[in-house]
Chain A
Amino acid sequence: MLSDIHLPTIHIGKRSINVFPYWIGLLIVGILFGLVGAFTVLRDGLQVTGLSNAIPWGLWISVDLSAIAMGGSAFVFGVIVYILRIKRFEVIGKLAVLLGFLGYSTAGMVLLFDLGQPLRFWHPVVFWQPHSLLWEVTMCVVLYLSVLMAEVLPIVLEHSVFNTHPWLTRFPILSSLIKFMHKLAHWLHSASPILAVAGLTLSLLHQASLGATYSVLAGRGIWFNQSAPVQFVFSAMSGGIALLFLSSVFVFRVMRPGQVSDEALRDLARIAGGITLLLTYLRVWDWAVTNYYSFNRTIALQTEVLDTISPYTLTFWLGQALLPIIAGSILLGAKKVNFRVLMAVSFFPIIAAILTRWNYNFAGLVASISYDPFTPNVILNSYTPTWVEFSVATLVISYWLLMFSLAARYLPFQSMKEHH
């Protein structure tokens, strides 16, 4: 199987260079740099960040939200593969599960650094406060991460290392451990429809709750938006599936040609396109409801203030409306478009999903509303991330890329058992 994998190469003159080792080396450097920041923040606490009492959530929370959005394809394809049983997406479904696992584990990792008391990360699991959206999000992320682990394990165990490595015969304890793992994996695999339903429920619950985490905060004006939960679900689906398409083409068409039919990949693009158009439709209506059919002085002021320091409005019209409409339309008509174009435009829904989250996270904090009773105003707070924040962000993003690269290189997505 491994001999079938084509690694990306760069051609310089007559030499062709395998970039894979350099790429992995670069990511390891990124992780080492990140570990320095991680150590610093664990030792000195959050005073090493640029966060303040005015802006208590910053870069890390934005990375966390984006990472979770990037895992949005896992629950959709869990349902498509294990419940609707659409066979030709089976291999793609495994990649989706992997992306989900990477997204959620990245999010969990960055959140750990963002806690003031990292050692108390388990408190929400023990000390329940079911009225809190963040409690719900935490519980769902913890449970869903377990579901994703259960879904990823059988895929990983199919690698030949766990079946034919010489150590397995030399160390009997290893082979009995692997045997047990295989049994577990088999059992988990037979439970996959149940896992898919659990995954669907948990991710819908908490993707929506992530939006609601912001939208219940009436005091923040721009955040107080009833449609945020739905926006978050659909933008995670749109961005997540676009990312799944992009990585599927890369893994299955460039690296392992022939493993997935072009038809299936084009259908994947059409699903991404359809959801992107649906999301953009909702998003533009949401804009109209908030800014056009009703006038809210606070939101207008906040938008005005945000526009003075950033292209806030432009990022909406360009990044979250216009480009996704174009990209969505092209992806929807994927049958007649070549893969280069499809890959290029599939970046836009991804960017849109990330933009939505970054704008959401910062809008209510950077432009916050004062509490004085007679001349209320919108205050502009400033926040500049420190190197520690960038360093930890590099750590988790490098982790994501490293795990993805290794999986793309080594994971047997095509089941060996089904081959026989």
Chain B
Amino acid sequence: MKNPNETPPEQGEQKVARRDLLKVGGALLGAAGLAQFFSLNSLAVRNKSEEHESDGPKWGMLIDINKCIGCNYCTYACQAVNNLADDMLYNVVTTETTQSGEEYFLSRPCMQCEEAPCVHVCPVGATYYREDGIVAMDYDLCIGCRYCQVACPYGARVFNWKDPIEKSDKAPKFGLQEVENRPRGVVEKCHFCSHRIDYGVERGLVPGVDEPATPACVVACPTGARVFGDLTDPASPISTAQVEASGTLRLREDLSTEPRVYYVSPVAESEAPFIQNVGR
């Protein structure tokens, strides 16, 4: 076959090639600039919390590490109420150590962050802020991409790998199932028992004070290590407990996720040394 591109004069070819390479080079530079511009823009965009700011209550939780005995009742109650298998825990209790080497129990529900990484990243808006600050899930929207799991610094999200179990072995001892089962293939999370809060608020009960309106883990705690209530109300149980506590901390405050779960520190220092050690 004869090639039409072949054998043009040597000199002309050279010139054309140089001009072409310059063109490509220019285009490359433009591309680099464009890429930088777009990426910076996408990094800068965050859902501002003003969008979901409202005057109503903002629910929060205070966990007194000094009172926690590691009995796991909070986890069991959560399993019973939400019908969770043993490998699908919304709430986990782990044994950690302080800097002086003392062991303590760290129980961790969802932090219900004010600037939740999971809400920022969800591609379909399946996870969202409720008016009362709770980070909730719409299980009908979730596509199961698990970006929220990857984004959550607390490991608070669990993916429904299997079909829902029939009945948790923690029921009925620690409570009965109160929410619908979620289908296989969606991500789930702790929702501060929002169904109880909604139920209570409708009937004039006060979440954090009246048990039917308070999250199951708080009610189940035998030592009263968990306190629940409205963070915006100075008279609520959580606000008074915060005042009484010598100092409170939140997990991974260096990430500016602004969690609504506070901990009463087991050691005298109220500032977590974590902030100095980790993060840029």
Q: A116-B142, A117-B186, A209-B39 are in contact. List 10 more A-B contacts (CB 8 A).
A: A47-B184, A134-B147, A200-B31, A220-B153, A263-B13, A270-B21, A369-B153, A373-B263, A374-B96, A374-B97
Chain B residue at minimum C-beta to C-beta distance from A130: B45
B143 and A117 form a contact (CB under 8 A): yes
By a beta-carbon cutoff of 8 Å, the part of chain B in contact with chain A is: 1-3, 5-6, 13, 17, 20-21, 23-25, 27-28, 31-32, 34-36, 38-39, 42-43, 45-47, 94, 96-99, 106, 108, 117, 120-126, 141-147, 149-155, 157-163, 183-187, 249, 251-252, 255-257, 263, 265, 267, 272-274, 277-280
Inter-chain CA distance A79–B147, complex, in Å, is 33
Chain A residue at minimum C-beta to C-beta distance from B111: A371
A218 and B47 form a contact (CB under 8 A): no
B143 and A121 form a contact (CB under 8 A): yes
Inter-chain CA distance A267–B150, complex, in Å, is 42
Contact among A116, A208, A213, A371 for B184, CB-based, below 8 A: A116
B5 and A264 form a contact (CB under 8 A): yes
The residues of A that contact B20 with a CB separation of less than 8 Å are: 84, 86, 88, 267
**8 Å CB contacts to B: which residues of A205-219?**
205, 207-209, 211-213, 215-219
The residues of B that contact A389 with a CB separation of less than 8 Å are: none
Name the distance in Å between B13's Cβ and chain A's nearest Cβ: 7
Inter-chain CA distance A89–B252, complex, in Å, is 53
Contact among A226, A233, A263, A298 for B278, CB-based, below 8 A: A298
Name the distance in Å between A178's Cβ and chain B's nearest Cβ: 27
The residues of A that contact B120 with a CB separation of less than 8 Å are: 131-132, 216
The residues of A that contact B35 with a CB separation of less than 8 Å are: 204, 207-208, 229-230, 233
A219 and B152 form a contact (CB under 8 A): yes
Inter-chain CA distance A389–B149, complex, in Å, is 20
The residues of B that contact A135 with a CB separation of less than 8 Å are: 123-124
B159 and A374 form a contact (CB under 8 A): no
A208 and B274 form a contact (CB under 8 A): no
The residues of B that contact A53 with a CB separation of less than 8 Å are: 149, 155, 157-159
Contact among B42, B163, B273, B278 for A133, CB-based, below 8 A: B42
Q: List 9 A-B contacts (CB under 8 A).
A: A116-B142, A116-B144, A116-B159, A123-B124, A136-B42, A212-B43, A230-B39, A237-B28, A371-B252
Chain B residue at minimum C-beta to C-beta distance from A211: B39
**8 Å CB contacts to B: which residues of A339-381?**
364-365, 368-369, 371-376
A373 and B274 form a contact (CB under 8 A): yes
B36 and A374 form a contact (CB under 8 A): no
By a beta-carbon cutoff of 8 Å, the part of chain A in contact with chain B is: 4, 45-47, 51, 53-54, 56-57, 76, 79-80, 83-84, 86, 88, 114-117, 120-121, 123-124, 127-129, 131-138, 200-201, 204-205, 207-209, 211-213, 215-221, 224, 226, 229-230, 233-234, 237, 258-261, 263-264, 267, 270-271, 274-275, 278, 294, 296-298, 364-365, 368-369, 371-376
Chain B residue at minimum C-beta to C-beta distance from A370: B96
Name the distance in Å between B126's Cβ and chain A's nearest Cβ: 8
Inter-chain CA distance A136–B120, complex, in Å, is 12
Q: Given the interface contacts A117-B144, A374-B98, does A217 sit within 8 Å of B151 by beta carbon?
A: yes
A47 and B5 form a contact (CB under 8 A): no
Name the distance in Å between A363's Cβ and chain B's nearest Cβ: 12
The residues of B that contact A229 with a CB separation of less than 8 Å are: 35-36, 38-39, 42-43
The residues of A that contact B117 with a CB separation of less than 8 Å are: 217-219
The residues of B that contact A298 with a CB separation of less than 8 Å are: 278-279
Name the distance in Å between B202's Cβ and chain A's nearest Cβ: 28
A134 and B34 form a contact (CB under 8 A): no
The residues of A that contact B158 with a CB separation of less than 8 Å are: 53
Q: Which of B43, B97, B263 has the most CB of A within 10 A?
A: B43
B185 and A45 form a contact (CB under 8 A): yes
Q: Given the interface contacts A116-B143, A208-B39, A219-B153, does A233 sit within 8 Å of B123 by beta carbon?
A: no
Inter-chain CA distance A102–B6, complex, in Å, is 30
Name the distance in Å between A168's Cβ and chain B's nearest Cβ: 27
A132 and B38 form a contact (CB under 8 A): no
Contact among A56, A57, A132, A365 for B122, CB-based, below 8 A: A132
B146 and A116 form a contact (CB under 8 A): yes
Name the distance in Å between B275's Cβ and chain A's nearest Cβ: 9
Q: Which 10 A-B pairs have the closest CB atoms?
A: A116-B144, A219-B153, A229-B39, A116-B185, A56-B146, A135-B123, A134-B123, A129-B125, A372-B96, A208-B39
